[in-house]
Structure 1
Amino acid sequence: MSFWEKMRGTTTSPPRVSIPEVIWSWIGSFLGIAAVGLVHFNMLTDSDMVMIIGSFGASAVLIYGAIKSPLAQPRNLIGGHVISAVIGVACFQLLGGQMWLASAVAVATAIAVMHLTKTLHPPGGASALIAVIGSDQIHALGYLYALVPAGSGAVIMLVVALLVNNIPKSRYYPEFWV
């Protein structure tokens, strides 16, 4: 198969999921993001802390909408965010004078380390990037960013995923822990 032929794909699109699956995915993602948002907007408003970051939207897709994916499992969710956040902060601190370089090194290194630690979680790449390109409020957190918001927000979303994804008889979560 040539280089160009590979780009045509090798299979057809998977079938559409059932309406109940769509509804449970909606309920889980609503409750998960709402829980993190409530902490952010009601408990941290008088501090410089943040709780909700953009990468949690992508995590919601995985842990509520693609629950059987290896990338959606608890080890990947927590490890992917925390490891990537630490890497992102380190890259900002070491290379922040060259934001393009810090951004590229942070995401690429986060992917490599997630692979090596079996914690690959695509939103982790976004958590690494946010640590570099985020606001002064994010930068002021330093390595605390790995715990709040990255780690603790992911834990809140995990608790919601464990509760909501196991309500219907047709769904169970997780597939594995470690």
Structure 2
Amino acid sequence: MKKRLKRHYRVARYVVYRQTILEPVDHLWTFLGTFAAISSIGLIQQAGFTRQDTIFLIGSFGASCVLIFGATHSPLAQPRNLIGGHLLASLIGVAIHKCLPDQLWLSSALAVSLSIVVMQITKTMHPPAGATALIANIGSEKIIQLGFGYTLTPVLTGVSVLFVIALIVNNLAPHRTYPTQPLSWPGRFRGLRRRLQSSKTEST
């Protein structure tokens, strides 16, 4: 038991150590990406606020920036997780609130827990999305009134801005790549075509 605890401690210390060993230029790219993303969403809200009273900026986007700019290579920061996690969590959060509008403690707990399970099942785990589901239940009256429109704005609009800026900023730095495994559609189509051709020749 003692050896196991020591081993776990060494692993945890190594992980923390690795997280803190960054090139100084990394801090600059993290700052630039986060600043550009949040300020862009904030400016969109400021420009449209007086005319449409629309919400574009929610707290969970700040947590997403920690991942997509501060831990760019994390599986939890990849586009599938960023976009899928937020969208699924927002839909679940709104649906639960509509079913249990007067039981805030229960709707909040169900929204977050169900969102996590659905993200696990769909392989779209993105920790900040838990807050997106929670905000759908405990947010301001303005957010609550949006209903399923909450998924479109602020969630989809904000996530789209985060994604585009992450693509630009994280790929400007020579030592960063985002996403870590870009999808090569032409290569996939060529491989599929070869398999189809080979199956045809085998059948003849």
Match of 1:142?
147
Match of 1:58?
63
Unaligned runs of 5+ in 1: none
Displaced runs of 4 or more, over 6 A: none
Q: Structure 1 residues 34, 170: closer, same or farther in 2, change over 3 A?
A: same
Query: Is this contact kept in 2: 1:36–1:52, CA < 8 A?
Result: yes
Aligned-residue offset at 1:91: 1.0
Note the 1:8-87 alignment, pairs <5 A. Answer: 9=9, 11=11, 12=13, 13-15=16-18, 16=20, 17-87=22-92
Q: TM-score, normalised by structure 2?
A: 0.81
Query: After the TM superposition, which of the residue ranges 41-50 and 99-108 deviates more from structure 2?
Result: 41-50
**2:174 is the alignment partner of 1:169:** yes
Query: 1 or 2, which has the higher helix percentage?
Result: 2
- Equivalent position amino acid for 2:64 in 1: S
State the superposition RMSD in angstroms: 1.9
Unaligned runs of 5+ in 2: 184-204
Q: CA separation in 1, counterparts of 2:134 and 2:85? A: 13
Q: CA separation in 2, counterparts of 1:134 and 1:105? A: 16
Deviations 1:78-136, CA, capped at 9 Å, x for gaps:
11111000000011111121100000000000000011111110010000000000011
- Equivalent position amino acid for 1:79 in 2: G
Local SS of the residue matching 1:67: coil
Structure with more relative contact order (C-alpha pairs < 8 Å, separation 6 or more): 1
Local SS of the residue matching 2:147: helix
Q: TM-score, normalised by structure 1?
A: 0.93
Deviations 1:12-34, CA, capped at 9 Å, x for gaps:
12232121111100100000101
